[in-house]
Amino acid sequence: MRTALVRILVVVALCAAIAGLRADQAPPQQPTRQGGGGRGGPPQGGAGPIRVMFVTKGHPYDREGLAVMLDALGKDISWSHVEHPAATTFFDPKNAELFDVFVFFDAPGRQRMTKPDGTQGFEDPGPAAKKNLQALMQAGTKGMVFLHHSLAAWNHTWPEYTEVIGGACDWGSPVTFKGKEYPNSGAQGGVKQRITVVDKAHPITQGIGDGFDITDETYLCPYAPETVQPLLKSDFKAVDANFPNRYASGWRHPEVAGSDLAGWVKVSGRTPIAYLQNGHDRTAWENPAYQTLVLNAIKWAASKEAKAWAVANAKTGTPAAWRPGGTN
């Protein structure tokens, strides 16, 4: 009971703090992080016109390093960091009005837990969060950008959510994606890759030419390439033998369609979705091409053009129950 009360108080305080910012106003100026915006650069949290809710929890990461990258985008965006479980409060369309774009760097729902009835299972966001996100997706008023390990969020208890992103990963447990079971996913850090632009006309790929080199973590897990519009691909061949630590222990994984994709856009409901596979740590975050991609993805997701595109393609890649007019 005490834990539940603490969580409620945290959510209430967070909502009150963020609601204190007028919707047409950037966050107040704050001291700059050393090494972030730098002298004369954007303040912590940014001061740009696009209001971003940055969502984390469920996977460890270098908080300061990623915050520095986001601050560097601060002339174009202002961002607020919200962790789970409070983050799902903003799935409610009324609360989501505070933001223009959601950026996810989270992976909740991967840990087994003891449920109230004493059985074991994975964390579930609950019926209210599921209903609210469905309504938000169908409204199409907020663009969404998913980065790197966000592909692992809610895999075990919310199948529609994995279809929203276009893939499903979990490096500790088997996953079920679009009704098919797969072994636990592959993950290989420090992979030198050449990322090639597939769609040179898309707003997200502007400014990076034909592609770029990056050293970053990559995955082997199921995707749904038939539901996405590809933007980027990697020259790393994602087959189980190329994940040597896991392979040596006897782990095997079937080859999957779209395993070379490193970025795409898609639709869920009427909402424009962007996913970028890269982004594990500072090696990626400090890559100028990656920074350009993240900023472009946020700008695109916030744009009228992206929302119009999503409406025109509302049935492509959207879970049947989440299509406009659909119900759970």
Give the pLDDT confidence of 166-194 residue by residue, as tens digits: 999 999 999 999 999 999 999 999 999 99
- Identify which of 313, 229, 311, 217 has the alpha carbon closest to the alpha carbon of residue 275: 229
Given a contact cutoff of 8 angstroms between Cβ atoms, the answer to whether 293 and 276 are in contact is yes
Q: Is residue 24 part of a domain?
A: no
Given a contact cutoff of 8 angstroms between Cβ atoms, the answer to whether 224 and 246 are in contact is no
Q: Which tokens in the block code for residue 141? A: 């008023």
Q: Is residue 8 part of a domain?
A: no
Beta bridge partner(s), residue 143? 101
Q: Is residue 272 part of a domain?
A: yes
Q: Is residue 283 part of a domain?
A: yes
Number of domains in the chain: 1
Helix then strand count (H, E) for the chain reads 9, 13
- Identify which of 235, 234, 303 has the alpha carbon closest to the alpha carbon of residue 271: 303
Q: Is residue 18 part of a domain?
A: no
Q: What is the CATH number of the domain that holds 196?
A: 3.40.50.880
Q: Which tokens in the block code for residue 228? A: 């996405």
**pLDDT tier, 18 (very low <50, low <70, confident <90, very high otherwise):** very low
Neighbours of 8 (CB within 10 A): 11
Residue 130 φ then ψ, to 5°:
-65, -45
Q: Is residue 259 part of a domain?
A: yes
How big, in percent rounded to 5, are the helix, strand and coil portions of the chain? Answer: 35, 25, 40
Q: Could you tell me the residue range of the domain that residue 78 belongs to?
A: 51-322
Query: Each residue of 293-327: pLDDT tens digit?
Result: 999 999 999 999 999 999 999 877 667 666 555 54
SS3 294: helix
Record the pTM: 0.87
17, pLDDT greater than 70: no
Q: Is residue 31 part of a domain?
A: no
Q: Is residue 12 part of a domain?
A: no
Neighbours of 65 (CB within 10 A): 16
Given a contact cutoff of 8 angstroms between Cβ atoms, the answer to whether 166 and 274 are in contact is no
